[in-house]
């Protein structure tokens, strides 16, 4: 079995395996932080987070540092729980797989939601 096949198979095995509650709780926590930060951004009149990170090299470092402060703990928790999961289920740890799962659970929801929350609130505020 190839690496990608194993990773995909292992990812879907996490849906009902031990510690599966984290597949709900970690994205939920990242979403809560994204909403809080998106509301703050809208109140301050800041541009959308992900778009600014991607397009403004001058602000990128500061924004990434701020975002990491918000979701870094969730990411680290996701890494730790995934390592525990892999030891229980696989009796082995696949580090790249762990980082991908932690990114999907902790960072991706934050990146995808903070900017749109900001935009929605600013649009609502204008009306």
Quick: pLDDT tens for 23-45.
899 999 999 999 999 999 999 99
Q: Is residue 12 part of a domain?
A: no
Q: What is the mean pLDDT of residues 14-20?
A: 80
- Residue 108: the pLDDT is 96
Q: Which of 44, 45, 64 has the alpha carbon at shortest distance from 54?
A: 64
Q: Is residue 14 part of a domain?
A: no
SS3 14: coil
Contacts of 9 (CB under 8 A, 6+ apart): 1
Q: Is residue 65 part of a domain?
A: yes
58-74 pLDDT, tens per residue? 999 999 999 999 999 99
Question: Residue 85 and residue 3: Cα distance in Å, rounded?
Answer: 18
Query: CA 7 → CA 22, 46, 84, 89, 114, distances in Å?
Result: 18, 38, 16, 14, 28
pTM for the whole thing? 0.84
User: Domain residues for 47?
Assistant: 20-126
Q: Is residue 103 part of a domain?
A: yes
Q: Is residue 13 part of a domain?
A: no
Q: Is residue 60 part of a domain?
A: yes
Q: What is the mean pLDDT of residues 115-122?
A: 94
- Is residue 87 within 8 Å of residue 17, measured between CB atoms? no
Q: Is residue 15 part of a domain?
A: no
Q: How many domains does the chain have?
A: 1
Query: CA 80 → CA 33, 54, 57, distances in Å?
Result: 20, 28, 32
Q: N- to C-terminal Cα distance for the chain? A: 55
């Amino acid at each position: 079995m190839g690496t990608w096949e194993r990773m995909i198979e292992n990812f879907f095995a996490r849906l009902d395996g031990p510690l599966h509650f984290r597949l709900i709780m970690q994205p939920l926590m990242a979403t809560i932080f994204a909403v809080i930060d998106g509301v703050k951004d809208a109140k301050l009149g800041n541009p959308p987070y992900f778009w600014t990170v991607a397009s403004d090299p001058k602000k990128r470092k500061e924004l990434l540092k701020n975002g990491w402060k918000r979701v870094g703990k969730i990411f680290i928790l996701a890494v730790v729980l995934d390592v525990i999961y892999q030891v229980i289920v696989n009796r082995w740890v696949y580090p790249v797989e762990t980082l991908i799962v932690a990114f999907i659970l902790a960072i991706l929801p934050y990146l995808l939601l903070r900017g749109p929350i900001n935009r929605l609130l600013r649009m609502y505020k204008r009306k």
